Amino acid sequence: MRREHHPARDGWDKTIESQGLAYHRAAHPEGLSRPYWDESVHYVFSMDEVESLEAQVEELHGMCLRTVEHVVSTGRFADFALPEWTWEEVARSWERRDPHVYARFDLRYDGTGPAKLLEYNADTPTSLVESSVVQWFWLQDVFPADDQWNSVHERLVERWRGLRLPPGPTHFAFTSMDETGEEAMTVAYLQETAEQAGLPTMAIAVEDIGWDPLNRRFADLDGQMIRSVFKLYPWEWMLADDFGRHAVRHSTWIEPLWKTLLSNKALLALLWELYPGHPNLLPAHLGDPRDLTAYIAKPLLGREGASMRIVTPEGTQETTGGYGREGYVFQGFEALPEFEGQRPVLGAWVVADEPAGLGIRETTGLITDDTSSFVPHRIAD
């Protein structure tokens, strides 16, 4: 694994916008000197490295699924700060094996040892368009003789084709509250992959999904029954909404309700409990840091690096945010590796239950947040 430089393509910004990354300006805070999509640098991997990472991601995903089974069979839902009225519904969702499509592991990796799991974005993962489409076309334009860890698009189409969904169109829901356009473009891309698989689809804003109390069903603006819906709207927000009690019992939601156990950072502590000392895990505990002398406190439902606290013998660093009332997990802290002053996080994609590709975000800080930049990668042997 190494970081290399290469001149950006002429008109690169217009090119990536035409490929679906129309939100690359709005999704980045103002005042930053570096663009969100930065193709002036990229990471290079060997095929052996990628094959090893694939095997590690596959193992981690299997461990996560077995942890869900453990939580359901032992009833440990309270560890995840889930409302008690949801526990039985989460268990039923898992026991039915409600269909799932994709997820993203965030990993610490420096090219010399096993990857370390930082968190699992299993409910509403983003950076999909840039990982699946935009960096692939960059590779074709700049390094056409090289390869890339990237079968995300093909696997998404294959996954949609293999799902058994209720009859009628699958609705693809975005929230109109998103001002950057990232969510709308991500949902539109996933809708396109479903259409390529032959599924009938319809786009809808989450705010326009209605509840029909007479017929006890969800409906769109035309009054059409919503039988299945993909949403980029976190389950914890849905459960807090007035219609949350209906949502857990009606319609097929993708991602499914049981994903609340994988998108919650309490997962990190249970993984360490069930697989203590595993080379791909960092020590993690609920409630307090126990014997950890260097750790990062992560809110169970936090996003974009908000409301985190890094504690080391040298001092403490914190990020702002409004998360944490639901509780924290305390994870052993290992600083992200540094390459030319930048610290990368590897986003390893899983589609269905198979490793599917890689996206990389990097920043100068110790916590990857909304100031990070996405950089492409290639495989060169």
Domain boundaries, the chain: 8-264+337-379, 283-332
Can you tell me the distance from the alpha carbon of 262 to that of 119, in angstroms, rounded to the nearest whole number? 9
Residue 160 has pLDDT above 90, yes or no: yes
Residue 220 has pLDDT above 70, yes or no: yes
- Span of 3-7, 28-32, 204-208, 244-248 with lowest mean pLDDT: 28-32
Per DSSP, the residues of 187-228 read HHHHHHHHHHTT--EEEEEGGG-EEETTTTEEE-TT--B--E
Residue 370 has pLDDT above 90, yes or no: no
Can you tell me the distance from the alpha carbon of 43 to that of 101, in angstroms, rounded to the nearest whole number? 27
Q: Write out the two tokens for 118.
A: 């930082």
Can you tell me the distance from the alpha carbon of 274 to that of 35, in angstroms, rounded to the nearest whole number? 41
Q: 256-269 pLDDT, tens per residue?
A: 999 999 999 999 99
Q: 324-336 pLDDT, tens per residue?
A: 888 999 999 999 9
The residues, any chain, with a CB within 8 Å of residue 65's CB and separated by 6 or more, are 353
* pLDDT > 90 fraction of the chain, expressed in percent and rounded: 86
CB 260 within 8 A of CB 77: no
Can you tell me the distance from the alpha carbon of 95 to that of 72, in angstroms, rounded to the nearest whole number? 9
Q: Write out the two tokens for 250.
A: 């009606």
**pLDDT mean across residues, the chain:** 94
Confidence of residue 181 (pLDDT cuts 50, 70, 90): confident
Q: 58-99 pLDDT, tens per residue?
A: 999 999 999 999 999 999 999 999 999 999 999 999 999 999
The residues, any chain, with a CB within 8 Å of residue 92's CB and separated by 6 or more, are none
Residue 43 has pLDDT above 70, yes or no: yes
**How confident is the model at residue 341, as a pLDDT?**
94
**How many Å is the Cα radius of gyration of the chain?**
20
- Name which residue leads in pLDDT, 28 or 356: 356
- Span of 41-55, 273-287, 308-322, 340-354 with lowest mean pLDDT: 308-322
Q: 281-312 pLDDT, tens per residue?
A: 999 999 999 999 999 999 999 887 888 999 99
Confidence of residue 381 (pLDDT cuts 50, 70, 90): confident
Residue 280 has pLDDT above 80, yes or no: yes
**How confident is the model at residue 180, as a pLDDT?**
81
Q: In this structure, how many other beta carbons lie within 10 angstroms of the beta carbon of residue 321?
A: 15
